[in-house]
Amino acid sequence: MPVDLDPHLLQLQLEEAERHPDPATPRRVGVIARVSGPEVEVPGLEVVVRAGTVVTGRMDLDAVAEVRRHRDVLSLKRTHHYLPADAAHVAAPDASAGTSPSSPPTPPAPPSLPWTGRGVVVGLLDWGFDVAHADLVTADGRTRFLSLWDQRGGRTPLSPEPYGYGRELDAATIDRALATADPYAALRYDPAEVDPLGRGTHGTHTLAIACGAGRAPGSTPGLARDADIVAVHLRGDDTNPDDTLGDSVRILEGVDYVFRRAGDRPVVLNLSLGRCGGPHDRSPLLVRAIDEMLETPGRQVVCSAGNYFSTGQHASAQLTDGAPVEWEWVVEPPLVDNAELEIWYPAADQLIVELVAPDGAVVLELPPGEERVVRDGGAVVVSAFHRRGDPGNGDSVVDLFLWPGAPAGRWRVRLVPRHVEKGEVHGWVERAYRGRQSRFAVPDPLFTTNTICNGRRTIAVAAYDHRAPVPLPGPFSSAGPARDLHPKPDLAAPGVAITAARSSSPLNGRRERDGLTTMSGTSMAAPHVTAAVAVLFEAAGRPLTSQEVGDLLRTTARPVPAGPERVGPGVLDVDAALRRLTAPPLPTTLRTR
């Protein structure tokens, strides 16, 4: 069957048909679309958020083909899952979730600045915010949250519009809860729900790095310690309440929510989350939409660059006519969810993809424009889609899915060139949510940046070890560039053994509160830059553009002996960025010489 739809939408239709061959009612799904104009209405597509010509919406799954054929629909994509950016809790002797405040490694000391983010909104899309933590309340015990949108659940009386799901907790509601003996029960929002091991949530830790007040015993204040906070607890399509999983539709709706709640105030949004699939350029609709939103001055989005340098999830090849290339794809048990491999190559080239099972059997041959479904005893074990000319960038894409019934072992992906003009081909193994992560046997650590961070206006942050005499990239920190050779990451910030707030959790029948924990990851590096942007916004006294912010950070970054593919132009230097921002203009006579 010819592939003229997004392969992930075709995969979703196949999954639904396998689960519910005779559904009683059509399934409603979230989608992202690009339409021909900012006010376009498409029958069958219920629009929720508009970002220029990119929209989020809901629609019946069985109407996908009809909606895609509409003359005003230029692209239609399935929502994609995003997870926290693989932050790792640091074990002893450095620190652990249960160590005393005096024992963790010394965090990077913030510069002594006259600016603290006052008047600026820091936004965060993440999971598990401890609104009662001492580092996230004011000196008199009031909340610093302007609002918190918990996206979990369907429509309720507290659902914010126009989104229509979850619960919005405003500042007054949070303050009332803080005045009770158990604020988590009063709010019906407990970060422990997404922290089953009690080690501290990702969202509380990243938020405190950016704008913690330093009031918890042993904690260090963030650069933006006087900023106000707007937070979104993400959910994914049909995920459980205790999942730390979001999706691209709800991420874009969360970005829109933060910008709406900030109003005319300057706002910087931290996205310490990611995935591996996609074209790794500026074309994905979520990336394109965020770039559109950042055309408004006084807004910036900061992203973690990803922790995929050494995970084996990227491979590349330079093809020549008549010379097949093989990649070995290692799949270890248990295969709980689908294992996915996504391949991108220039539209000017043509190749056939063959998939060889661990026992040596060729299970499929996939020419351009075709799809294949392989069954064993009636159950799907492999599905594959080969699309010519993705509408985002014009390139071709191959998606291979191994279903839970597929055998574990060493699969081989054979790329057979039929016509080569450019020859560069890249493959990315998508992140596993459950079960073991599949990987390439011989990976390429370059081009491993997080999918969401490759936009024109977003700032991608790598991680370095601030404890080393000479700053060294975190061994996990993803490398650039983007697949279109756009330079990424944009700079690096401390991301190894970072100590900050640990969310509250029950322990031995009592509540542990106002603790600290130590984590490593680009998730920890991004909030340092988020806080720096908040300080730049305050110091500027005017709405800086995203271009101005990016230029300030990149041109003042302190060079270090690491390649630009690891740290960009260097490491964050807040003092230098502020000096350049606040320096008096040159006299006219000097400027014109």
Structure confidence by residue, pLDDT tens digits, 300-356: 999 999 999 999 999 999 999 989 999 999 999 999 999 999 999 999 999 999 999
Lowest mean pLDDT among 82-86, 445-449, 464-468, 523-527: 82-86
Give me the DSSP letters along 334-390: P--S-EEEEEEE-TT-EEEEEEE-TTS-EEEEE-TT-EEEEEETTEEEEEEEEESS-
For 91, which DSSP code?
P
Residue 101 has pLDDT above 50, yes or no: no
In the CATH hierarchy, which top-level class contains the domain 317-438? mainly beta
Residue 89 has pLDDT above 90, yes or no: no
CA atoms within 13 A on the CB side of 133: 34
Closest CA to 230 of 295, 154, 309, 160: 160
Q: Quick one: pLDDT at residue 583?
A: 85
Report the distance separating Cα 178 and Cα 157, nearest Å: 22
Q: Determine the average pLDDT of the residues in 188-194.
A: 96
Amino acid at 309: F
Residue 98 has pLDDT above 90, yes or no: no
Report the distance separating Cα 69 and Cα 320, nearest Å: 36
pLDDT tens-digit readout, 537-586:
999 999 999 999 999 999 999 999 999 999 999 999 999 999 999 887 66
Q: Quick one: pLDDT at residue 95?
A: 32
**411: confidence class by pLDDT, cuts 50, 70, 90:** very high
**Token reading at 488:** 């990424």
- List C-alpha distances in Å: 157 to 118, 150, 206, 256, 570: 32, 13, 30, 20, 48
Residue 152 has pLDDT above 70, yes or no: yes
Amino acid at 280: H
pLDDT tens-digit readout, 207-228:
999 999 999 999 999 999 999 9
Q: Determine the average pLDDT of the residues in 172-183.
A: 97
- Element spanning 58, H or E: strand 54-60
The answer as to CATH 3.40.50.200 being correct for domain 84-309+449-581 is yes
Report the distance separating Cα 308 and Cα 343, nearest Å: 17
- If one compares 544 and 510, the residue with the highest pLDDT of the two is 544
Q: Determine the average pLDDT of the residues in 195-199.
A: 91
Residue 68 has pLDDT above 70, yes or no: yes
Q: Quick one: pLDDT at residue 225?
A: 97
The beta strands (E) that lie in 201-349 are given as 228-233, 246-247, 267-271, 273-274, 299-304, 314-318, 325-331, 339-345
Q: Quick one: pLDDT at residue 86?
A: 59
Q: Are 44 and 66 in contact (CB under 8 A)?
A: yes
Question: Which 3 state secondary structure label does DSSP give 553?
Answer: helix
Q: Quick one: pLDDT at residue 100?
A: 35
Report the distance separating Cα 178 and Cα 193, nearest Å: 19
CA atoms within 13 A on the CB side of 92: 5
Q: Quick one: pLDDT at residue 83?
A: 85
**122: confidence class by pLDDT, cuts 50, 70, 90:** very high
CA atoms within 13 A on the CB side of 457: 23
- Element spanning 16, H or E: helix 7-19
Backbone angles phi, psi at 186, to 5 degrees: -65, -40
pLDDT tens-digit readout, 22-54:
877 888 999 999 999 999 999 999 999 999 999
- Element spanning 574, H or E: helix 574-582
Evaluated on CA atoms 557, 558, 559, 565, the torsion sign reads negative
Closest CA to 525 of 572, 561, 488: 572
Provide, rounded to the nearest whole percent, the portion of the chain with pLDDT above 70. Answer: 93
Q: Are 481 and 565 in contact (CB under 8 A)?
A: yes
Q: Would you tell me how many other CB atoms lie within 10 Å of the CB of residue 248?
A: 28
Q: Are 416 and 353 in contact (CB under 8 A)?
A: yes
Q: Are 248 and 234 in contact (CB under 8 A)?
A: no
**507: confidence class by pLDDT, cuts 50, 70, 90:** confident
Residue 145 has pLDDT above 90, yes or no: yes
Residue 192 has pLDDT above 80, yes or no: yes
Backbone angles phi, psi at 529, to 5 degrees: -75, -35
Cis status, amide bond into 162, omega within 30 of 0: yes
- Element spanning 250, H or E: helix 248-262
The DSSP bridge pattern shows strands 145-150 and 228-233 to be parallel
Residue 240 has pLDDT above 90, yes or no: no
pTM to 2 decimal places: 0.94
Closest CA to 557 of 464, 457, 446, 484: 464
Closest CA to 127 of 198, 206, 67, 52: 206
**113: confidence class by pLDDT, cuts 50, 70, 90:** confident
Lowest mean pLDDT among 106-120, 351-365, 554-568: 106-120
Same fold, 84-309+449-581 and 317-438: no
Q: Quick one: pLDDT at residue 272?
A: 96
**588: confidence class by pLDDT, cuts 50, 70, 90:** low
The DSSP bridge pattern shows strands 299-304 and 54-60 to be unpaired
**What are the boundaries of each domain within the chain?**
7-78, 84-309+449-581, 317-438
Closest CA to 399 of 1, 3, 85: 3
**508: confidence class by pLDDT, cuts 50, 70, 90:** confident
